[in-house]
């Protein structure tokens, strides 16, 4: 009796060619696992992004600031930051595109902006 070891998703990710040895039933089972995990991870990501607590990170791991935090760092009122973001390209450049309408700001860009302004 020849027993084959069934690779897990981590092993397949490390060596995608491993799927060539799998039967249709095993592939189907692994796909079901993949979709369950993917759905759970996506759900968690959406919750975290929607929390709006200023603890959002960009793809580089930088913790982004919401409009209240950014206004505080820039020394202006929130309403002023909203208005200037619409009209001032230098302020608009501080915003990080996050695929939503929510304004999120890069602390690194804000610090560089402030350094340029203060000389």
pLDDT digits (tens, 9 = 90+) for 25-64: 988 988 888 888 888 888 777 766 666 554 566 666 678 8
Secondary structure element (H or E) that encloses residue 85, with its range: helix 78-87
> Dmax of the chain from CA atoms?
77
CA 61, CA 52: separation in Å to the nearest integer? 17
- Identify the helix (H) or strand (E) that includes residue 118: helix 107-118
Calculate the average pLDDT of the chain: 84
106: buried, middle or exposed (CB in 10 Å: 19+, 13-18, 0-12)? Answer: buried
pTM of the predicted model as reported, rounded to 2 decimal places: 0.52
């Amino acid at each position: 009796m020849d027993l084959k070891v069934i690779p897990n998703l981590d092993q397949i990710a490390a060596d995608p060619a491993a799927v060539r040895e799998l039967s249709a039933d095993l592939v189907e089972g692994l796909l079901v696992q993949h979709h369950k995990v993917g759905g759970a991870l996506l759900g968690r990501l959406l919750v975290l992004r929607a929390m709006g607590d200023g603890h959002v990170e960009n793809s580089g791991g930088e913790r982004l600031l919401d409009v209240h935090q950014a206004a505080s760092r820039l020394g202006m009122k929130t309403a002023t930051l909203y208005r200037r973001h619409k009209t001032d390209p230098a302020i608009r450049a501080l915003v990080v595109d996050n695929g939503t309408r929510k304004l999120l700001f890069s602390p690194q860009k804000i610090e560089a902006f402030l350094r340029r302004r203060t000389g």
